Amino acid sequence: MRRIIKNGTVVTAADTYKADVFIENGVISQIGANLTAPDAEIIDADGCYVFPGGIDPHTHLDMPFGGTTTRDDFETGTIAAAFGGTTTIIDFCLTNKGKTLRSALETWHAKSKNKAVIDYGFHLQIVEANENVLNELPQVIEEEGITSFKVFMAYKNQFQADDETLFRTLIAAKEHGALVMVHAENGDVIDYLVKKALADGNTDPIYHALTRPPEAEGEATGRAITLTDLADSQLYIVHVSCAEAARKIAEARSKGIEIWGETCPQYLVLDQSYLEKPHFEGAKYVWSPPLREKWNQDVLWNALKAGELQTLGSDQCSFDFIGQKELGRDDFSKIPNGGPIIEDRVSILFSEGVKKGRISLNQFVDLTSTRAAKLFGLYPKKGTIAVGADADIVIFNPDTERVLSAETHHMAVDYNPFEGMQITGEPVSVLSRGEFVIREKQFVGKPGSGQYIKRAKYGKSQQAKTIETAAK
């Protein structure tokens, strides 16, 4: 099927211009004025932006966590992602101590195959960098196209790895061409604070935030940066939530250390007071790192604008309020950590960022798509509108006014953390490799049509390693 998107405004991380986009065999074959072909389907994008499909570098679908499993799996999660203008996700594949990395990957392939409606890749968790794991890493990079590894510095007795594992992983990543990612919070200190709070009888959701102070995130961020510098390696810090961490990243980058930072919509528009909602509703906002005092939002927005943070992940990790978040009614530490964000990630950044003048339109595309493509070995196949790129495209109406709500969202969960939020802008149609997944706001995709993407090594995607001066 040949298609031409006409009358839209094409927006990339670098340019904004009026042009038609010609799609053939799933890729963009021409961009220009007045493109025609007798047999091509014409898609009218008048009044709309034509964005490269969003890339969400941080999702947890069908993930066992906190004694339960996330509500959204690879089918519901990727459908919701597509409705929100995301056409590629990179999900976190969990591993088990003593088992091979490949066995973990088989599990994640089984979860996603025949389910995903958009393309996807996997980051791989490293819990213990023993000889077997270190021997397997190069094979996983070369043969499976897994070029990013995740180390948790928190979640003691569950996912947390020690500093030796982080350091060894950084060294191996440098040698073999991968990017290490960290969840940066001091898990040992948090474990102490949680036990103390519970011993003192403090069981409400707000204690989730009070026992995970910003200092614990700042300390772990600084430690991970120092280890990266020592290993002469590269590091991506996920879900940056507070000034303490953002400042450490900016400082390291100004010294030339290769550090990348991601934040998430929830930290840009929600704050710690949500955890104090009555009737246990605060549990809906329990994730890690926790929501912070409101003033941190300005710090994060400024860091995005200045290029000190480079990507926006959703950290999608959804649990129902009823039956799942409720597991922690009498003990905040038993509330499963995570929230449903995958669907609203792109639209919130557009509405709160571009429409409110906090970031430019081109920065928006960079943050939601291009930069993740470059860092995670997907560029230029994905992450831009260019001849030869996959036709992963979002036709976006920048003027629609709407209200976010669980009643209208497509995630499988029973609540939306942004309930009632008024936003401007909406994805109208979404194409994955040239095929409609969302057409005029209706789902027309097919579970199983999403393909697993083997990713290029770190630094091989064009410009991935450019640490540019602040984009003001």
CA pair distance 28, 336, nearest whole angstrom: 42
Q: Is 288 in the site for ligand URP (CB under 6 A)?
A: yes
Q: Is 122 in the site for ligand URP (CB under 6 A)?
A: no
Contact residues for 324 (Cβ-Cβ < 8 A; gap 6+): 68, 71, 336
355, 88, 183, 136: CA torsion to nearest 10: -160
CB of 418 closer than 8 Å to CB of 269: yes
x/- string (CB under 6 A) for ligand URP, residues 375-414? ----------------------------------------
**Ramachandran class of 279: left when φ > 0, alpha when ψ lies in -120 to 50, beta otherwise:** left
Binding partner of 20, given Zn ion, ligand URP, none, CB within 5-8 angstroms per partner class: none
Bridge partners for 390 per DSSP: 27
Q: Name the residue nearer to ligand URP (CB basis): 43 or 63.
A: 63
CA pair distance 211, 472, nearest whole angstrom: 36
Q: Footprint of ligand URP on residues 41-60 (CB under 6 A)?
A: 60
Binding partner of 173, given ligand URP, Zn ion, none, CB within 5-8 angstroms per partner class: none
Q: Is 284 in the site for Zn ion (CB under 5 A)?
A: no
Rounded to a whole number of angstroms, the minimum distance from the CB of residue 159 to ligand URP is: 8
Interface with ligand URP: number of residues (CB under 6 A): 8
Task: Spell out the long-range contacts of 351-355 with Cβ–Cβ below 8 A and sequence spacing 24 or more.
Answer: 351/423, 351/424, 351/425, 352/265, 352/268, 352/269, 352/423, 353/268, 353/301, 353/304, 354/398, 354/425, 355/398, 355/424, 355/425
CB of 74 closer than 8 Å to CB of 115: yes
The single residue among 338, 380, 417, 427 that binds ligand URP, judged by CB under 6 A, is: 338
Q: Is 185 in the site for Zn ion (CB under 5 A)?
A: no
Rounded to a whole number of angstroms, the minimum distance from the CB of residue 256 to Zn ion is: 27
Binding partner of 337, given Zn ion, ligand URP, none, CB within 5-8 angstroms per partner class: ligand URP
Stated as kind and residue range, the H or E segment containing 259 is strand 258-263
Piece in contact with Zn ion (CB under 5 A), picked from 73-81, 120-128, 251-259, 313-321 = 313-321
User: CA–CA distance from 249 to each of 257, 309, 340, 359 (Å)?
Assistant: 9, 8, 26, 19
CA pair distance 113, 381, nearest whole angstrom: 21
Scan for tokens 């789902």, then name that residue.
443
Q: Name the residue nearer to ligand URP (CB basis): 170 or 317.
A: 317
Rounded to a whole number of angstroms, the minimum distance from the CB of residue 339 to Zn ion is: 10
Rounded to a whole number of angstroms, the minimum distance from the CB of residue 344 to ligand URP is: 16
Q: Name the residue nearer to ligand URP (CB basis): 150 or 374.
A: 150
Q: Name the residue nearer to Zn ion (CB basis): 288 or 432.
A: 288
Stated as kind and residue range, the H or E segment containing 89 is strand 86-93
Q: Is 262 in the site for Zn ion (CB under 5 A)?
A: no
The single residue among 183, 284, 345, 371 that binds ligand URP, judged by CB under 6 A, is: 183
Rounded to a whole number of angstroms, the minimum distance from the CB of residue 359 to Zn ion is: 23
Q: For residue 466, give the 3-state DSSP assignment.
A: coil
327, 212, 236, 299: CA torsion to nearest 10: 120
Q: Name the residue nearer to Zn ion (CB basis): 63 or 129.
A: 63
Q: Is 315 in the site for Zn ion (CB under 5 A)?
A: yes
Rounded to a whole number of angstroms, the minimum distance from the CB of residue 319 to ligand URP is: 9
CB of 26 closer than 8 Å to CB of 432: no
Q: Is 3 in the site for ligand URP (CB under 6 A)?
A: no
Q: Is 287 in the site for ligand URP (CB under 6 A)?
A: yes
Rounded to a whole number of angstroms, the minimum distance from the CB of residue 35 to ligand URP is: 43
CB of 105 closer than 8 Å to CB of 124: yes
The single residue among 183, 208, 374, 382 that binds Zn ion, judged by CB under 5 A, is: 183
Q: Is 186 in the site for ligand URP (CB under 6 A)?
A: no
Nearest residue to Zn ion, by Cβ distance, number only: 183
x/- string (CB under 6 A) for ligand URP, residues 298-337? -----------------x-x-------------------x
Contact residues for 294 (Cβ-Cβ < 8 A; gap 6+): 271, 272, 273
Q: Name the residue nearer to ligand URP (CB basis): 76 or 429.
A: 76
Q: For residue 428, give the 3-state DSSP assignment.
A: strand
- Residues lying near ligand URP in the complex (CB under 6 A) are found at 60, 183, 287-288, 315, 317, 337-338
- Residues lying near Zn ion in the complex (CB under 5 A) are found at 183, 315
